Amino acid sequence: MVPAGVALAGDMLSIHELTKRRGSREILSGLSFEARPGRVTAFLGPNGAGKTSTLRILLGLDSATSGTALIDGVPFARLKDPLTKVGALLDGSGAHRSRTARAHLRWIAAAGGIPPARVAEVLAVVGLTDDARRRVRSYSLGMSRRLGLAAALLGDPEILVLDEPVNGLDPEGIRWIRTFLRERAETGRTVLLSSHFLGEVAETVDDAVVIHQGQIVAQGTLSEVVGEHGTIEDAYFALTGAPRGGLR
Amino acid sequence: MKLIHAELIKLASLLSAWIAAGLATILPAAVAVLNSRSQVSRGIDAGFQDLAPGVIGAIVIGVVAVSSEYLVEGAESGGGRQITTSLTAVASRSRFLLAKAAAVAVTVALLALLSSAITLTTTSLTDETVSVGTADLPRVAGVTAYWILTALLASGITLVTRSGIVPLTFCIVNMSVVSVSFLLTKLTSWANYLPDLAGMHLFLRDVHGSVDIAPLTGGLVMGLWVVVVAGIGFIVFRRRDA
C-alpha cells in the first residue's frame, strides 16, 4: 500500500463542491473528495445516497448544477483519449443485447484506436473467452458485469471508476476483483469504486468516502473512517443512520 | 475516421440493421416485378417509383442507429444502456454524433446504390417499354440523397424520443401505408414542402402534387428540414443528461 499523502505519477480524481439538482430535489449537496493514485478509494453509502449520480457527473454523462469533477485536472469531456485515461463500469454490461461480447469490445476498441488484439486479452482477463461469441442477452448478471469490466480495461487506463463492481458477481468473482483492484493500485493507478456491500470492500480499500443523502458524512483512510466504531460496518451504520438490516 | 469505423462496426453487428438492409434491397425489386405485371403503362417514373418504398430500410437504419444506444439491457442484467459506454469511450458528444451520422449516411448510400441497380435492372428486364441508361444517373443520385436525408431525419427524431417505437411507426406509416403528408396537401399546398413530399422530387418526375417543385429545390427543402430536425436532436442530446 502506498501511504496517504505520497504523490505518485498517476492521475487523480478530484471532486469539488459538487451539487446536482433535479427539479426541486437536491441530489448532491456540495460534495468534495479526492481519489489518489496508488490507492483504492471506496465510495460508500446506501442506495439512493448519490453515489451513481456523482460517478456519472465525473464521467461526463450528467451535468453538475455547480461545482467541478476533474480527472487529472480536466473535465471528462475534454479528455483526448478517454479510454486510456479512465476505464468506467456503470450499470449492467453497457452492451447492446443483440451484440456478441466480441463485437461490443471491437467497436469500443475501434473508437479508441486500440489494437483489435486487445479484445481477446481483456476477454481472457475477465474469464469470458469461451462466451465471447454469445449474444449479451443470454448473459447472467455476473457475466454482464465481467463484460463491462472488460470494456473498462480495454485501454489499460490510469484510472478505474467502477459503480458497484462486486454487485452480481459470485464469491469467486468477488475474490478475483479484490485481488485485481489491489494489483492495479499497487502499480500506481487510481481506483474509485462505489459500493453498498461493506464486507466485500473492507479488505480491498485504502481510503473511504461515506455519503448519505447527497452529503459526505466521513472521509479519510479506512482506519480514520472506522475510527472508534470498531468495524467499517459499525462506522457505516453510525454515520448514515441506516437501520441495521435495512440494507440488501 | 476511427469513430466512424466504430459506428460502422456497431451497425454491422445489429441484427435489425441487416433486416433493414434486406428490406431496402429486396422490397423495391419485388415491387418492380409486381408492377411490371400490370398492364398500365407507368411512364417516366417506372422503376424509380418502385424505389420509394425501399426508403423504409433507410428509416429503420436511421432509427436503430440511435435507439440501440438507449435500449435497456433488461433488469436481470443490471439495466444498463449502451449510451453510457459510447460516451465514456468518446468524450465529445459532437464528434460522437457526427460519426454516427456519417456511418448512417455511408451505409444508406451504399444500400441506395445497390438497390437502384437491382431495381432498375429488374424493371428494364421485365418491362419492354422501359429503358434505363446513363441519362438516369442524376435520378439515381436523387434517390440516394432522398434515402440519406430520410435516414438522418429519422435519426434526428429518435435523438429526441430516445426510443425507436414512435419514430419508426410514424415514419413507416407515413411513407408506406397512408401518407399523412399527402393528405395534408388536400388542405394546404404548403404541405408539398413537407420533407418527404419535397424530397420525392429528387428522383420522381411525375409527382401529382398541387405545386411544381424542381428536383434541386425539392432536395434543398428536404435538406433544410433535416438540418432543423437533426439540429434540434443534436442540441437536445448535447444538453441532456445521458
**Residue A243 DSSP class:** P
Q: Is B75 in CB contact (< 8 Å) with chain A?
A: no
- Of B212 and B27, the structure prediction assigns the larger pLDDT to B27
Q: Per-residue pLDDT averaged across A182-210, rounded?
A: 89
- Of B75 and A176, the structure prediction assigns the larger pLDDT to A176
Cβ–Cβ below 8 Å for B73 and A111: no
DSSP string covering A135-149 = BGGG--HHHHHHHHH
Coil, helix or strand at residue A228: helix
- C-alpha torsion sign, points B139, B140, B142, B146: positive
Cβ–Cβ below 8 Å for B85 and A94: yes
- pLDDT for A2 beyond 70: no
Q: Is B189 in CB contact (< 8 Å) with chain A?
A: no
Confidence of residue A59 (pLDDT cuts 50, 70, 90): very high
How close is the nearest chain B Cα to the Cα of A240, in Å? 25
Calculate the average pLDDT of chain A. 89
**Among chain B residues, CA nearest to A96:** B82
Q: Per-residue pLDDT averaged across B21-35, rounded?
A: 91
- pLDDT for B72 beyond 80: yes
Domain boundaries, chain B: 2-239
* Of A150-154, A191-195, A243-247, B10-14, minimum mean pLDDT range: A243-247
How close is the nearest chain A Cα to the Cα of B224, in Å? 30
Contacts with B5 from chain A: Cβ below 8 Å: 110-111
C-alpha cell at A116: 483489435
Query: Best mutation site among A58, A62, A96 for testing chain B: the one with the most B CBs within 10 Å?
Result: A96
Confidence of residue A234 (pLDDT cuts 50, 70, 90): confident
Cβ–Cβ below 8 Å for B78 and A141: yes
Tell me which residue in A78, A91, A110 faces B80 most closely, judged by beta carbons. Answer: A91
Calculate what percentage of chain B has a pLDDT beyond 70.
95
| ipTM for this prediction | 0.90
- pLDDT for B41 beyond 70: no
- pLDDT for A20 beyond 50: yes
- pLDDT for A229 beyond 90: no
Give every CB contact of residue A28 below 8 A, 6+ residues apart in sequence.
A18, A19, A20, A50, A53, A54, A57, A64, A214
Spatial separation of the C-alpha atoms in residues A79 and B98, rounded to whole Å: 18
Q: What per-residue confidence (pLDDT) applies to A5? A: 45
Contacts with A80 from chain B: Cβ below 8 Å: 91
Q: Is A90 in CB contact (< 8 Å) with chain B?
A: yes
Spatial separation of the C-alpha atoms in residues B6 and A104, rounded to whole Å: 10
- pLDDT for B79 beyond 80: no
Confidence of residue A247 (pLDDT cuts 50, 70, 90): very low
DSSP string covering A169-206 = --HHHHHHHHHHHHHHHHTT-EEEEEES-HHHHHTT-S
- pLDDT for A7 beyond 50: no
**B67 CA to centre of own chain:** 15
Contacts with B241 from chain A: Cβ below 8 Å: 56, 61-63
Spatial separation of the C-alpha atoms in residues A201 and A222, rounded to whole Å: 10
Tally Cβ neighbours within 10 Å of residue A80.
9
Confidence of residue A48 (pLDDT cuts 50, 70, 90): confident
**Among chain A residues, CA nearest to B9:** A107
CB contacts under 8 A, A 4-23 vs B, are: none
Q: Is A77 in CB contact (< 8 Å) with chain B?
A: yes
- The residue with cell 444500400 is B111
With b for 16 or more beta-carbon neighbours within 10 A and e for fewer, the A133-158 pattern comes to: eebbeebebbbbbbbbbbbbbbbebb
Q: What per-residue confidence (pLDDT) applies to A248? A: 40
- The residue with cell 468473482 is A173
Q: Is A220 in CB contact (< 8 Å) with chain B?
A: no
Contacts with A62 from chain B: Cβ below 8 Å: 241-242
Query: Best mutation site among B1, B82, B88, B236 for testing chain A: the one with the most A CBs within 10 Å?
Result: B88
- pLDDT for A245 beyond 60: no
Calculate what percentage of chain A has a pLDDT beyond 90.
71
Domain boundaries, chain A: 13-94+141-242
With b for 16 or more beta-carbon neighbours within 10 A and e for fewer, the B96-121 pattern comes to: bbebbbebbbebbbebbeebbebbbe
Considering only CA atoms, which of A203, A236, A168, A55 is closest in space to residue A246? A236
pLDDT (tens digit, 9 = 90+) per residue, A146-165? 999 999 999 999 999 999 99
CA-atom Rg of chain B in angstroms: 19
Q: Is A212 in CB contact (< 8 Å) with chain B?
A: no
How close is the nearest chain A Cα to the Cα of B239, in Å? 8
- pLDDT for A125 beyond 90: yes
Q: What are the φ/ψ torsions at residue B6 (nearest 5 degrees)? A: -60, -45
Domain A13-94+141-242 matching CATH 3.40.50.300: the answer reads yes
- C-alpha torsion sign, points A156, A168, A211, A225: negative
A245, amino acid identity:
G
CB contacts under 8 A, B 45-64 vs A, are: none
Considering only CA atoms, which of B171, B12, B93, B149 is closest in space to residue A104? B12
With b for 16 or more beta-carbon neighbours within 10 A and e for fewer, the A100-112 pattern comes to: bbbbbbbbbbbbb
pLDDT (tens digit, 9 = 90+) per residue, A91-107? 889 999 999 999 999 99
Query: Best mutation site among A57, A81, A107 for testing chain B: the one with the most B CBs within 10 Å?
Result: A107
Query: Best mutation site among B85, B87, B93, B95 for testing chain A: the one with the most A CBs within 10 Å?
Result: B85
CA-atom Rg of chain A in angstroms: 18
Spatial separation of the C-alpha atoms in residues B147 and B200, rounded to whole Å: 10
Q: Is A117 in CB contact (< 8 Å) with chain B?
A: no
Tell me which residue in A77, A136, A140 faces B92 most closely, judged by beta carbons. Answer: A77
pLDDT (tens digit, 9 = 90+) per residue, A60-85? 999 999 999 999 999 999 998 999 99
pLDDT (tens digit, 9 = 90+) per residue, B116-133? 999 999 888 887 777 777
- The residue with cell 435516414 is B151
Spatial separation of the C-alpha atoms in residues B64 and A193, rounded to whole Å: 33
Tell me which residue in A86, A103, A108 faces B85 most closely, judged by beta carbons. Answer: A108
Please give, one letter per residue, the 3-state secondary structure of B38-54: CCCCCHHHCCHHHHHHH
Give every CB contact of residue A139 below 8 A, 6+ residues apart in sequence.
A93, A101, A131, A147, B77
Contacts with A167 from chain B: Cβ below 8 Å: 78
Calculate the average pLDDT of chain B. 89
How close is the nearest chain A Cα to the Cα of B1, in Å? 9
- In degrees to the nearest 10, what's the CA dihedral of B75, B96, B198, B44? -90
- pLDDT for B114 beyond 90: yes
- pLDDT for A242 beyond 70: no
Considering only CA atoms, which of A64, A93, A59 is closest in space to residue A77? A59
Confidence of residue B136 (pLDDT cuts 50, 70, 90): confident
pTM as predicted? 0.90
- pLDDT for A219 beyond 60: yes
- C-alpha torsion sign, points A110, A81, A174, A32: negative
